[in-house]
């Protein structure tokens, strides 16, 4: 996860604007095509938001369980360079593998 700080504030602001534009587009589509708009009934406190930067694989999320994040981390895989240099991605992958192993044993 990209930590929120002064250097990454623009990234987080851009993601928020993208979400707002998507919601506006959806509402506009529903109005234009006379579709029942369920978006206003969604409890956004229960919605899982996941943003992934495609070229780097960095993720940000809100309301996601630790188990879901671990599964996504395992899905992303790691490279030989990650292992060789013990990058943060490698450490996250290792933690996700250990978590999966512990859960499979019922610990």
pLDDT tens, position by position, 87-106: 988 999 999 999 888 888 87
What pTM was computed for the model? 0.54
The parent domain of residue 103 ranges over: 65-107
Place of tokens 């188990």: 67
Query: Is the same domain home to 6 and 58?
Result: yes
pLDDT in tens, 8-27: 788 878 888 887 887 777 67
Residues 11 and 58 in one domain: yes
* 61, 71 contact by CB (below 8 A): no
Distance between CA atoms of residues 97 and 95, nearest Å = 5
Within this chain, do residues 15 and 54 fall inside the same structural domain, yes or no? yes
Domain count for the chain: 2
Average pLDDT value for residue range 37-47: 62
Nearest to 61 by CA among 74, 47, 75: 47
In the numeric block, the tokens 């490279």 are attached to 79
Q: Are strands 49-52 and 59-62 parallel, antiparallel or unpaired?
A: antiparallel
């Amino acid at each position: 996860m990209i930590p929120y700080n002064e250097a990454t504030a623009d990234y987080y602001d851009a993601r928020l604007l993208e979400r707002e534009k998507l919601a506006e587009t959806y509402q506009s589509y529903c109005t234009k095509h006379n579709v029942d708009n369920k978006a206003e009934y969604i409890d956004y406190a229960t919605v899982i938001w996941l943003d992934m930067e495609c070229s780097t694989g960095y993720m940000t999320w809100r309301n996601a369980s630790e188990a879901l994040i671990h599964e996504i981390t395992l899905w992303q895989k790691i490279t030989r360079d990650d292992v060789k240099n013990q990058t943060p991605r490698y450490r996250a992958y290792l933690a996700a593998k250990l978590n999966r192993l512990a859960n499979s044993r019922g610990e």
